Structure 1
Amino acid sequence: MDKLYLMSKKKNNSFKNILKTNDIYLHYNDLQVSHFFNGDSKIIILGHAVHCKNVDLDLIDICKEMSEMNTLSEVIEYSDYLVGRYIIIRSYENSTQILPDATCTIPVNFYSDEQDLYISSTTHLIGKLTNTLLSEESLEIKSKAEEQHPLPYNITMYNNVKTLIPNHLLNVNKMEMFRYYPNEKQSEKSFDFVLDETINVMDNLTERFVKEYKFSLPITSGLDSRLLLALMKDHMSDIPLYTFYDKGDEENWDLVVPKQMSEKLNLEHHAIERIPIEKTALSKLTKILDHQQNERILENGFSLSESSLSHRHFLAGDIIPIVKSNFGKNYSEKLATLFYLNTKTHNYSKNNKKHIKKWIKDAENDYNVSKFDLFFWEYRFGRWLPKNANNYDVFSNPFYIFNCRYLIKLWISISREERTSRSFHKEIIEKKWPELLEFPFNPGNKLGRIFSKNQYSYYVASLAKYNINRFR
């Protein structure tokens, strides 16, 4: 999707469309923009969203309902139920706030100086308009990790340009990031209630979405894609599956298992060979993607765009791993240390550790919300997922059907003990499409399963792996 936008005090005539609110100009080209102005209350939604409890509402209805709310808290609570890739701009009297979607898949990057303010989906544009240089610190942090790993906390590749992370909003008047969740005690919900509610929500959403979009579904031998397949069971007559593979690696389990499932269950399946991207093209994309390129994802997107499935949106299951609690297991909160959380960034820079320390201070709360869950949500999803989505956007159309705060908050309301002792994924599959359990899950990853069975072995192994790699 086209997600390019710019907000500033000065008008920029290089964009096709301009909308003004509270003396700030919103510029955009083909990005979908919906709005409703109700006196001093204005709501603008950039992108697309559906209300998971009332899927028949259109975007204007959603804007209208939020415009009638007198408090920011009401708007935030309402936004929990929105699914999709979007940004909410709320102006009330003389104040303006920006709320991102559940995982910030349309970035909110921001910068201000004495003359102007700039808010945009791309830091590259802000850097160009302000003559801001690339950050030496960020370049050093990036150099200490593999290219797929994101920057920590809310820093970007440019000096003085920050980005929003989940559970935060932007106070435009002060140009400051503000945490709004957690802000109250979280009530624990039963595993079975959350399981049934997830199925109910997804059944309603899929009925709505298949009427609007043509989908394809990437499938491997893993749990996440299998769960997504189970939830889409009633619509699979028009949803082809596909699996990427490298030439000469046709016996990979991630290709073999989907082929077995497709043949036995009579599903359409495409094996798509990855097409390498030329180095000159990759070099150009590096600049466009703010030095946050991921060559593997770009290859996947390009390969998909060259296939017969290029006209379809592909369903992504990236957000549901949080319900496995495979990141925090059932560890004591005392083990959510700076040292351990830093290892999970897979970055070996001292500057990276400094920003993880800032995040820990920001995340301090008395609302019984686990730091493990918050870190997984705000780092893995808040920094990793948007970067991956931006890479996919270059050549393909990812669709994040689980991108909903209501669902994420439901999942982390299950005790981490229950999340580790039971399999949320497999129990949904059992309810929706039990035949899918007859096929093996990740049969080639035996070593990983041995370590993950004992959570404390996994914890120690994570620390050991980090230190081994750090001194290489």
Structure 2
Amino acid sequence: MKINKLIYNSGYIITEWNLENILSNFKVLNMKDLNIYYDENVNVIEERYEDDSIVMVGYCFDIRDSDKSQNEILRELLLSDSLEEDLDYINGRYNFVIRRGIEYQIFSDASQLRPLIYHKNTRMLASHDSLLNEVLLKYDINLERRNSGFHTELDFTRFKELYKFNPSMYLNFKTFDFVRFYPRTQLQERSIEEIFKEMKPFLDNSRKFLEKIDNDKFVTVTAGIDSRVSAALTRDFSNEMEYLTYTQSPKKLATKMAKQIYKIDEKITTDMKKYLGWNHNIIKLSDYAPSKEKINELSEIYNSKHAYALANYYRDTKKYDKAIHVKSTVFGMGKADFPKELDSHKDTLEFYKKCIHGLPQRFVQNEDVSKEVDEYFKRNMINEGVTKGRHYFDLFHLESRMGNWHSMLTLETDPETEEFIFTNCRKMIDLIQSPSVVERRDFRLYKKIIKEYWPVLLSFGINSVTNGKMADNDDNDIYDIRHKQTKVTAINKITIEKKAETLTLKPSVDLINVFDTYSFSIENESKDRRIVKITSFYRNTKAKNKINIIIKTKDDVKVYDILELNKGINLTLDDKPVVVYVVYRANFTSSSWVDAGKLQLDIKSPIVKLS
């Protein structure tokens, strides 16, 4: 699809207007009062029954029945007496336009993987904000641009009169009013076993649907838990899959800390590649970066700058055409990623505002945030009690971070790829939010899924700071051992034991796996700066170059050989936590090597008041 000199390879427009004289290289489907203009790369299907019809832009599948065709799904939805409930089970990347009599309704997939932008005054919707702007300019309708750099905050686009379609609402096109239909039911906390039992048939049907697709298929893999779940679900047909990790050049990373943590992330995925023997490519985005001139051209079209290099890789190196990209973004809804101070959820607008996240500092500094959030709440029908047992942090994440920011960046690699997410339907999103907060932060549901489908993936370290469990001991107040204001938290596979005025920490495993990292954090909960001394026990020189201790502070990351800590080093604790990683450079089967990674913490008196 082309307008002026701009080409929209995956563009589409929904409108009452006739645009045939201003567009070129397009197809059109007429629904009596509505026209759907779309690029030839876009999949559009219509199903009719008597005088009613439903049009799908994109693709879909039913998690209850992997054998059901898309036409069968569309017909069932068109005839459904419980449309909103049935849509809960429809995964994919789509927009539905449903005409019943003179009424039109527009629905989206659960996270707006298939983007829509709307302009209320002209009752027009489109895939790209720039495409809609170009159309309106042809009719002398000039839109005001937002300040430079503001584009996907809240439900914003680059233009003040264009807003992002919320995936939890549908549009009544006749009145051009939105209706919120998710959440509709109260969410109850449930056990992992109960959730998994209900979820497993849906996962299996989704796996069958994915396996049957003939297109190229790949999973993007990081060291995080989310992509590990997606990868596990592809085990039965892993010989047909590619596993892709893309990394950034160290020169592109701003701090030493970012570079060191990135190395840990890269090491885990590299170890997975070596150990598993799967078809796993690890690429550097800088090898595929477009020219500055090309970036400027793409920036006119897209409302994001996330994956221009990836698009080059997919198009020029892999020669992809609608390859299925198995992504894991929606899995974030099941991890209780909100700060601990938000654990006690309240159904008030004041609390909801505290849950708003992902706003850049430039937005906070230059906009009236409170006013903008109030207007966002009004546009998106956010009233007290809207969550119905869910946490508003998660609901905002779904509707803004996924529904806007992530939605828009999918266009950058379309039509080279088509997104697939195992949890991109409202039924699955509710299921992953149903465990307790503690269980979600410990990834217990996700670990159960991995254990069921590809358990070896649990042998590799998970590069994520979560609230891990410490070993049982007689002192339940182990977090506060000296001044009762210093918290030590086991992040991954660490046992903590209190002895007199010190703590000892060591890996909580029987065998050492080189693919694992063992880590803990130290956090100062007082207003006083204080000193913590870290000392290693193992003194045998055969341990040299076998065990590294990585210490991440607020401003730096340092790597020590464990023998360098025999005499101890002092760390200053201020207002930011310190994270310590115990990293082995080989596999060890002897328990003595588990003990070799033991560390001692001595927490000293405060030295100065923090300002």
Q: Provide the TM-score with structure 1 as the length reference.
A: 0.84
What is the rounded CA distance, in whole Å, between the counterparts of 1:319 and 1:180 in structure 2?
19
Structure with greater Cα Rg: 2
**Counterpart in 1 of 2:128?**
122
Task: Kindly state the Cα deviation for residue 196 of structure 1 after the two structures are TM-superposed.
Answer: 3.4
Residue matched to 1:358: 375
1:168/1:259 CA distance change after superposition, 3 Å? same
- Report the CA distance between 1:63 and its aligned residue: 1.5
Q: Sort the Cα spacing of 1:62 and 1:193 in 2 relative to 1 into closer, same or farther, 3 A.
A: same
Equivalent pair of 1:302/1:396 in contact (CA under 8 Å): no
Indicate which of 284, 299, 312 corresponds to 2:309. Answer: 299
Q: Which residue of 1 aligns with 2:500?
A: none
State the match for 2:45 in structure 1: 34
Q: Which is worse superposed, 317-326 or 7-16?
A: 7-16
Query: Aligned to 2:351, which of 337, 340, 349?
Result: 337
| Structure 2 CA distance for aligned equivalents of residues 191 and 52 of structure 1 | 20
Compared with structure 1, are the counterparts of its residues 391 and 453 closer, same or farther at alpha carbon in structure 2 (3 Å cutoff)? farther
- Deviation of the 1:422 alpha carbon: 5.2
| Aligned counterparts of 1:332 and 1:318: Cα–Cα separation in 2 | 25
After superposition, give the CA deviation of every residue in 1:171-210 in whole Å (9 maximum; x if it has no partner). Answer: 1112222212223333443322222333332222122222
> Could you tell me which amino acid in structure 2 is paired with residue 173 of structure 1?
K
Partner of 1:279: 292
2:107–2:167 contact (8 Å) kept in structure 1? no
Q: 1:395 to 1:284 in 2, by over 3 A?
A: farther
Deviations 1:360-395 (A, max 9, x none): 453224333321221121122111220221223275
- When you count strand as a share of all residues, which structure comes out higher? 2
What SS does the corresponding residue of 2:218 show, helix, strand or coil? strand
Q: In the aligned structure 1, how far is the partner of 2:19 from the partner of 2:335?
A: 46
| Superposition pairs of residues 132-281 of structure 1, within 5 angstroms | 132-136=141-145, 138-139=146-147, 142-143=149-150, 150-152=152-154, 154-212=155-213, 213-247=215-249, 252-274=263-285, 275-281=288-294
Shift of 1:94: 1.2
Kindly indicate whether the alpha-carbon contact (under 8 Å) linking 1:257 and 1:440 is maintained by their aligned counterparts in 2: yes
Give how far 1:396 is off. Answer: 4.1
- 1:206-227 C-alpha deviation (Å, 9 max, x unpaired): 2222221321222222111111
- In the aligned structure 2, how far is the partner of 1:421 from the partner of 1:260? 23
Who is 2:390 aligned against?
369
Q: Is the 8 A contact 1:301 1:394 kept in 2?
A: no
Whether 2:11 is the aligned partner of 1:10: answer no
Provide the C-alpha distance between the structure 1 equivalents of 2:521 and 2:109, rounded to a whole number of angstroms.
Answer: 34
Taking the TM superposition and a 5 Å limit, the aligned residue runs for 1:417-436 are 417-420=438-441, 423-436=444-457
For 2:464 and 2:190, locate their aligned partners in 1 and report how far apart those are by CA, in whole Å: 33
Once the two structures are TM-superposed, the CA of residue 98 in structure 1 deviates from its matched residue by 0.2
1:76 to 63, 80, 84: 84
Q: Does structure 1 retain, via aligned residues, the 8 Å contact 2:47–2:71?
A: yes
Partner Cα separation in structure 2 for residue 448 and residue 26 of structure 1: 55
Task: Tell me the distance in 1 between the aligned counterparts of 2:454 and 2:178.
Answer: 43
What one-letter code is carried by the residue in structure 1 that aligns with 2:383? E
Post-superposition Cα deviations, 1:427-456, rounded to whole Å, max 9, x if no partner, equal 221222222122112189999987998999
SS of the residue 2:201 aligns to: helix
The alpha-carbon deviation at position 103 of structure 1 amounts to 0.7
Partner of 2:161, secondary structure, is: coil
Gap change, CA 1:2 and 1:76, over 3 Å in 2: farther
2:66·2:208 contact (CA, 8 Å) conserved in 1?
A: no
Give the Cα separation in 1 of the matches to 2:95 and 2:144. 26
- CA shift at 1:247, angstroms? 4.6
Gaps of 5+ in 1: 144-148, 466-472
Judging changes above 3 Å, is the alpha-carbon distance between structure 1 residues 455 and 419 closer, same or farther for their aligned structure 2 residues?
farther
Secondary structure of 1:87's aligned partner: strand
Give the AA of the match of 2:71.
I
Q: Deviations over 1:222-276 (max 9, x none)?
A: 1111111111111111212222234568982333222222222221221212222
TM-score, normalised by the number of residues in structure 2: 0.66
What amino acid is aligned across from residue 172 of structure 1 in structure 2? F
The aligned residue for residue 329 of structure 2 is 318
Counterparts of 2:313 and 2:465 in 1: how far apart (Å)?
A: 24
Kindly tell me: are residues 183 and 242 of structure 1, through their superposed partners in 2, closer, same or farther at Cα, counting changes over 3 Å? closer
Give the Cα separation in 2 of the matches to 1:128 and 1:396.
25
**What residue identity is the alignment partner of 1:404?**
C
Distance 1:235 1:165, change over 3 A: same
TM-aligned CA deviation for residue 421 of structure 1: 5.1
How far residue 51 of structure 1 moved from its aligned partner, in angstroms, is: 0.7
The 1-side partners of 2:239 and 2:290 are apart by 33
Segment drifting more, 376-385 vs 116-125: 116-125
Residue identity in the other structure for 2:382:
A
For residues 522 and 309 of structure 2, the distance between their equivalents in structure 1, rounded to whole angstroms, comes to: 36
Sort the Cα spacing of 1:245 and 1:383 in 2 relative to 1 into closer, same or farther, 3 A.
same
8 A Cα contact 2:353 2:373, kept in partner? no
Query: In the alignment, which residue of structure 2 is the partner of 1:469?
Result: none
Greater helix proportion? 1
- Counterpart in the other structure of 1:61: 72
> Which deviates further from its counterpart, 227-236 or 368-377?
368-377
Deviation of residue 317 (structure 1)? 0.8
Give the residue type in structure 1 aligned to 2:119: Y
Deviates most, 428-437 or 351-360: 351-360
Higher relative contact order (CA 8 A, sep 6+): 1
Q: Secondary structure at the match of 2:28?
A: strand
Quick check: 1:407 aligned with 2:446? no
SS in 1 for 2:304: coil
Q: CA RMSD in A?
A: 3.3
User: Aligned partners of 1:355, 1:442: CA distance in 2, in Å?
Assistant: 35
The SS at the match of 2:245 is: strand
Q: Check the 8 A contact 2:226/2:332 in 1, yes or no.
A: yes
Distance 1:36 1:223 in 2: 39
In 1, distance between residues paired with 2:367 and 2:465?
Answer: 35
Aligned positions, number: 444
Structure 1's 7 and 360: CA in aligned 2 closer, same or farther, altered over 3 A? closer
| 1:287-316 Cα shifts (integer Å, max 9, x gaps) | 111xx222x422233234343474543211
